[in-house]
Amino acid sequence: MAEESVLGAPRRSKLEVKIDIMQAIADGSGRPTHIMYRSNLSWAVMRSVMKVLEQEKIIVSTDLDGRRSYTLTDKGLRVLETYRSVKRQLESIPVMIPA
């Protein structure tokens, strides 16, 4: 569960941050700055998480004319689809919260 930040808004979990980065890449934002803005992360946080994702072979970087771009690997696509599937299944289960 996400904890609250100083301003009262819930913070994202590490899992949610990874998924947000992967989703940004899947949506076509392959350039680092675009990924950072789409994921709503600082540069330092984004770079550290992307380094782990790259080490785990979930994303891959390419350099064309000195410009770095990222894409999801087949493994990354499977991870993202599995996450979406599990999320859909869990969200469809009704939960009664006692008053």
Domain ranges of the chain: 14-88
pTM check: above 0.75: yes
Is residue 25 pLDDT above 70, yes or no? yes
User: Interior CA angle at 27 toward 89 and 16, to 5°?
Assistant: 50
User: Domain 14-88 falls in which CATH fold?
Assistant: Arc Repressor Mutant, subunit A (1.10.10)
Whole-number Å distance between alpha carbons of 49 and 97: 35
Looking at residue 98, what is its pLDDT? Answer: 84
DSSP assignment string, 60-84: EEEEETTEEEEEE-HHHHHHHHHHH
Sign of CA dihedral 52, 72, 9, 1: negative
Is residue 7 pLDDT above 60, yes or no? no
State percent of the chain over pLDDT 70: 91
**45-72 pLDDT tens trace:** 999 999 999 999 999 999 988 899 999 9
Whole-number Å distance between alpha carbons of 71 and 45: 18
* Amino acid symbol at 96: M
Q: What tokens were used for 55? A: 């080490």
